[in-house]
A = this chain, B = another copy of it.
Amino acid sequence: MIFFGGDYNPEQWPEEVLDEDVTLMRQAGVTIATVGVFSWSNLEPEPGRFEFGWLDRVLDRLHEGGIKVALATPTASPPPWFTLAHPEAMPVTADGVRLTHGSRDTYCVSAPAYRAAARTVAAKMAERYAHHPALAMWHVHNEYGTDCRCDFTAAAFRSWLQKKHGELDALNEAWTTAFWSQRYSDWAQILPPRATQYLPNPAHVLDFRRFLSDELLGGYIEQRDLLREANPEVPVTTNFVQGGWVSVDHARWAAEVDLVAVDHYPATAGYGAEVETAFGGDLARGWGGGSWLLMETAPNLVYTPGRMHAKEPGQLTRNSLSYLARGSRGAMYFQWRQPRGGAEMFHSALVPHAGPDSPVFRETIGLGRYLKALGKQTFGPIAAQVAVTWDAPSWWALQGAGLPSKQIDYAAAVQQAHRALYESGLATDFLFPGLDDFAERLRSYKMVIVPHLYLVSDETAGALRDFVAGGGHLVVDHLSGIADPAGRIRLGGYPGAFRDFLGVRVVEWRPLAPTGSIALDNGDRGLRWSERVETAGAETLVRYAGDVLAGAPAITHNRFGDGTAWYVSPGLDDGALRRLLDQVAAEAGVMPVLPGLPPKVEAVRRGDLLFLFNHGATPGQIHLPGPAHDAVTGREVPTSVTVQPGGSLTVRLG
């Protein structure tokens, strides 16, 4: 069964809507509803007084309708009574402003009163619903990521630091506290990063983000264990939210959930949303080790900066299938029914304000039918020969103040690498350098891209070296291999961790102006970044052709052991990067999923299933690799098949 459904909040509606909703869900082929997110003030309207009746009715009614439930603990948003009783558990900003209720997510995960109240409500729910027949999975909390700088946080941070660094001198050394007279002589002197006079210590900030990820994880585990104990059969998860502000290292969290569940909201209108969808799906699959679940996306909107952008007809279907094609076990949305009020009343829904007589609900019905038929197929694994690295701590480090350029953007660098591979039709996985199995997972790829991997441990550097020596094709760009995991520069020339197998030594950075660029001798232009590269064994493929760098190496490659390591010094535009990666792929013997696709036509393969999408405005003709049948209708599909603009097609090969 494909999970198809979304967040459902009947507590916002008169009870009679429940019946209508179940009817509409059945009409739409919905198989699962996420219930209970943010329902704490309805479940426990006063401290210690629980009202489960309404939720009983919801679960029972859904069960009668044949709809499963992902039941959420409501701990992401404590009720107003909690604030009144425990002002000390409200989060505090770096400026010392104590937030209060009135939105959501106002709690400090290190505050004892919050943790106790969260355990209580989770335990009550476990007790009552752990064996409910509708229960398909537990959904702990919502989008962990809340930041706090209060004194509870300070105490927890200090404990975490003691565990990590052992001795205070080790911390002083790791944080280079000799700079600016920051040497600590007592653990009690250490605070979370708070408002200070000028630039903070980047190592301090970085460790705080690592701490916060672990501290939030502690909050999750506490609930998970309670729920597991009540019924070990029911899988437990929490929905991962992505964004530069989120201090959660999802790659590490993945080990603690029974199923990686991801909320994914592209932020680019038009074709960009498809590319983001592919990125989000591939990254989530990496976290999930091949399998994951799209827990939330917007049915009918892309939230671009400045406006909510309505999707085009067919796009809901195409996006949903794209997630499935990339390993998701379902397609779930925020949300089922668009609310009448509240802060997100304009977020999109399967049943919008206009009601079921609306384009989005009509498309939902069609999608439900499609997924029902498709659910009968077997979904094989995705086989990728290329991988890109993703590293949350490097992202965090490159968000700091005092960096050489404001154009540094870790996520953009990774997305650009992924986009280039996507455009060339190469199936792509993600790898996580901080994980124990990194070296092992590396071995299964022919080609690996390492964008802006700023922080790198000796182990990671060794694994990448071995990958190349063992015949791999590795592409490294500027700002990779620069620092150790504490953020201390690896000296002697950049990129300190990778100089040997790259065969280069960078002696000076020359970041470009926001509007600037630098000529390269192959006709391309360097963007954002340039630097003085000296080769030490590597062969120069492309040279800088402008500025004081004229004639100096810009792109190099180096035979090392049985493999090759490329170094890309300047930033490149999409076209130039794609041409370069195509060249690497050709050398590495990496092939696209389906060669010869028209522009904006995409093919994704899971086992024998081939998903075809036409994101363009003209019909796309596709040559299949052999005989195939429509995975939904079962009808034979001709080898040369046309997908209409905005359309999609799923076929089973063979």
Contacts and interface: CB of A to CB of B under 8 A. Distances in A.
Interface stretch (A227-235, A418-426, A505-513): A505-513
Contact of A353 (B96, B201, B489, B510): B489
Contact of A358 (B193, B344, B507, B511): B507
Given A102-B194, A402-B346, A486-B341, A181 B79 contact: yes
Interface stretch (A247-255, A299-307, A574-582): A299-307
Interface stretch (A103-111, A456-464, A469-477, A553-561): A103-111
Contact of A101 (B182, B202, B343): B182
A359 interface: yes
A571 interface: no
Nearest to A183: B41
A508 B360 contact: yes
Nearest to A203: B341
Contacts of A196: 99-103, 106
Contacts of A180: 38, 77, 103-104, 342-343
Contacts of A406: 306-307
A178 interface: yes
A201 B308 contact: no
A487 B80 contact: no
Contacts of A191: 100-102
Copies, count: 3
A199 interface: yes
A626 interface: no
A308 B95 contact: no
A481 to B, nearest CB: 12
A143 to B, nearest CB: 10
B97 A195 contact: yes
A181 B41 contact: yes
Interface in A558-577: none
Nearest to A14: B173
A644 interface: no
Contacts of A352: 507-508
Contacts of A404: 307-308, 346
A200 B354 contact: no
Contacts of A78: 181
Interface string A478-506: 00000000111101111000000000011
A191 B98 CA distance: 14
A78 B402 CA distance: 21
Contacts of A77: 180-182
A395 interface: no
Contacts of A307: 404-407, 511-514
B84 A340 contact: no
Contact of A508 (B9, B189, B354): B354
Nearest to A401: B343
Nearest to A308: B404
A494 B344 contact: no
A170 interface: no
A174 to B, nearest CB: 8
Given A9-B178, A181-B41, A353 B83 contact: no
A81 B186 contact: yes
Which of A184, A197, A300 has the largest count of B CB atoms less than 10 A from its CB?
A197
A11 interface: yes
Interface of A: 9, 11-12, 38-42, 45-46, 74, 77-81, 83-84, 91, 93, 95-106, 146, 175-186, 188-191, 193-204, 269, 300, 304, 306-310, 312-313, 338-346, 352-355, 357-360, 401-407, 486-489, 491-494, 505-514, 532, 548
List the 8 shortest-distance A-B pairs measured between CB atoms, nearest first: A176-B341, A179-B342, A80-B189, A41-B183, A199-B343, A77-B181, A103-B196, A102-B196
